[in-house]
Chains A and B, each alone.
Chain A
């Protein structure tokens, strides 16, 4: 039987792992897919290629399908999130120059960090993010909104250029995904002060996206793709597989990154400043555990809310997170399905067992640093 060729766009990052492993370890082939991974130079290029039909599917930043559903940025195309590819995995840090003026700060305390940033005179603070519609930018905006006195200028810097931008003073601070945070630390030009989950405990990071119409026209290929990626993500999150995962990702032509820069994100052992001892950060990056791949509609709603959507926009955003397909396509291969497709974001403070089809679902903390909770249940999906 000949395999279906599927062109899937990606931006080379450590959290592209579920796609790369799906191909390299044969999870895609087992489903009858020839998963052709097409490297993209930028998020805007990837988005355009997907919207124009040059890619069948793509790894996207979780806010991208939501932004498109709201008509923000780029082409008018209906793009759906089939499932999450990863949760968390981003870091915030400052240039070495700025770190020196801030003095000693405890790691991972968003409130203290804000107070320290406000008291320094050099303003505005220039912070580099990878893309306007990224979880990095949304978490940054959410966090600094609690300190109206802090003037911040957000600039988009392609992640491979972030270390240069920090080094030459183009930005004072950065919010990036791996390996680029570790690359900045490795060059000694900046240090990591907190990670994404210190602001939001469980944030959807990358998603598997496809055009709404393409999904409707290709139900079989959609199912094959989702199952391959699901198996790959499950394999990746098993502790015993991590050394092999690092080995495969390091050899892969798709990433073109060395083992050393892949390791921190996969193992969760991050070096925070040059010469420091790696620190274990729990739930730094998840592909499968704690329902990381479930496209919670309340996450879509939160993103839409942060992008300034009204109730109609939030309803539309919910619709593009395809919990229906997740249930339909992954339930039969044993995925544990939560009883509800939405939750009140921000209420979980410690690991909590919730009602699920197989009774094994334990959700990880999803609290926000300021203790706020978000209930969008009253807003119906369109």
Chain B
């Protein structure tokens, strides 16, 4: 992602994301929270994790989890991500040294993880913004992909329903579609719902 694209995205970025900060050092945690609040995010929680990270994640249901790369609890987050909806949650990482190469490589590889130097206040904001922007882009791409898949599925169902009507009532295709559309309008439902009902009923009857 080019820096220009990031900037463009930042201007449209939503600030209502729920962020969970996993940091045992309370001073560090406070710095991160301050930076986030200052940058306009206000749904921020911090936990000083020992052994109940999983419950905390379940309780807060964050959109993004921020964790130090040196924190072994990262493996637990990974597991939670794998069993829940991995694509809906980003993990941003912090390390104590600046490493431009690593940052670039991580971005190029498409990880929603990120690296920042030494948790310096002036860098936290921009890094978090970039990480979140990237995450939102990925999530948007994912939801577009999901929508496309759903549309394809709907299309198949509607075609099947049309086929059933055409066979049963010996009518042409456009008339079968009109019939479903009318039924949908009369009942205040969507065409796909009518089609689905028809397919289900037909499956049960044959």
- A residues near B (Cβ < 8 Å) are 41-45, 48, 51-54, 72-77, 130-132, 155-158, 160-161, 164-165, 168, 170
Contact = CB atoms under 8 A, between A and B. Distances in A.
Given A41-B69, A52-B105, 12 more contacts: A41-B71, A41-B72, A44-B77, A45-B74, A45-B93, A73-B78, A75-B109, A75-B110, A76-B110, A132-B83, A158-B72, A158-B76
B78 A44 contact: yes
Contact of B75 (A54, A72, A75, A131): A131
A159 to B, nearest CB: 8
Contacts of A51: 109
Given A48-B106, A54-B102, A77-B109, A43 B75 contact: yes
Given A54-B102, A161-B51, A165-B51, A156 B109 contact: no
Given A45-B69, A161-B51, A130 B109 contact: no
Contact of B109 (A45, A52, A73, A132): A52
Contact of A155 (B54, B93, B102): B54
B74 A164 contact: no
Interface string B48-69: 0011101000000000000001
B73 interface: yes
Contacts of A130: 75
B72 A53 contact: no
Contact of B78 (A54, A156, A157): A156
Nearest to B82: A132
B70 interface: yes
Contacts of A53: 105
A156 B73 CA distance: 9
A132 B52 contact: no
Nearest to A164: B51
B113 interface: yes
B38 to A, nearest CB: 28
Interface residues of B, number: 26
A132 B75 CA distance: 8
Contacts of A54: 102, 105
20 contacts: A41-B74, A42-B75, A42-B78, A48-B113, A52-B105, A52-B106, A76-B109, A130-B75, A131-B75, A155-B76, A155-B79, A157-B51, A157-B76, A158-B73, A158-B75, A160-B72, A161-B50, A161-B73, A170-B51, A170-B52
A52 B75 contact: no
A160 B105 CA distance: 30
Interface of B: 50-52, 54, 69-80, 82-83, 93, 102, 105-106, 109-111, 113
A132 B78 CA distance: 8
A85 to B, nearest CB: 19
A216 to B, nearest CB: 19
Contacts of B54: 155
B79 A131 contact: yes
Nearest to B52: A170
B51 A44 contact: no
Nearest to A51: B109
B79 A42 contact: no
B82 A73 contact: yes
B110 to A, nearest CB: 8
A217 to B, nearest CB: 16
Contact of A42 (B74, B82, B106): B74
Nearest to B81: A73
Listed from nearest, the 6 A-B pairs whose CB atoms lie closest are A156-B79, A158-B72, A52-B105, A42-B74, A165-B51, A42-B75
Contacts of B109: 51-52, 75-77
B55 to A, nearest CB: 9
Contacts of B80: 156
Nearest to A131: B75
A156 B51 contact: no
Contacts of B76: 155-158
A51 B70 CA distance: 17
B102 A44 contact: no
Contact of B111 (A42, A48, A132): A48
Contacts of B69: 41, 45
Contacts of A73: 78, 82
A165 B50 CA distance: 9
B80 to A, nearest CB: 8
A16 B111 CA distance: 28
Contact of B79 (A45, A77, A132): A132
